[in-house]
Amino acid sequence: MTPKIPIAAITDEFSPDFETALVPMQEIGMEAAELRVIFGKNIMNLNEDELNLVQVIAKKRGIKIISIASPLLKCVFPGGGEVDTRFQQDIFASKHTFEDQPRLTEHAFSIAKKLGARIVRVFSYWRTVDPDKCFEGVCTALDDLAQKAAQHDLIIGLENEHACNIGTAAETARVLDRVKHPNLQVVWDPANAYVSGENPFPHGYKLLPPDRIIHVHAKDCSMDGHKPEWGPLGTRDVDWKGQIAALIQDGYQGYLSLETHWPGPGGDKLEGSRICGWNLKGLASA
| Averaged pLDDT for residues 194-221 | 98
Sign of CA dihedral 35, 39, 40, 44: negative
pLDDT at 94 over 80: no
Query: Using one digit for the tens of pLDDT, what is the confidence trace for 17-62?
Result: 999 999 999 999 999 999 999 999 999 999 999 999 999 999 999 9
Sign of CA dihedral 209, 143, 109, 102: negative
| Residue 152, CA distances (Å) to 32, 121, 149, 278 in order | 21, 15, 5, 35
Average pLDDT, the chain: 96
User: What is the C-alpha separation between 179 and 221, in angstroms, rounded?
Assistant: 31
117 φ, ψ to 5°? -85, 135
Q: What percent of the chain has pLDDT over 70?
A: 99
User: By CB neighbour count within 10 A (0-12 exposed, 13-18 middle, 19+ buried), where does 5 fall?
Assistant: middle
| Residue 264, CA distances (Å) to 71, 106, 172, 273 in order | 24, 36, 30, 7
| Averaged pLDDT for residues 123-133 | 96
pTM score: 0.96
- Tell which residue, 74, 50, 72, 54, has the closest CA to residue 63: 54
Q: What percent of the chain has pLDDT over 90?
A: 93
| Averaged pLDDT for residues 144-162 | 98
Decide yes or no: CATH 3.20.20.150 for domain 7-285: yes
The pLDDT value recorded for residue 54 is 98
The pLDDT value recorded for residue 84 is 87
| Averaged pLDDT for residues 221-230 | 94
Strands 220-224 and 32-35 come out as unpaired
For residues 258 and 273, the answer to whether their CB atoms sit within 8 Å is: yes
pLDDT at 93 over 60: no
| Averaged pLDDT for residues 190-204 | 98
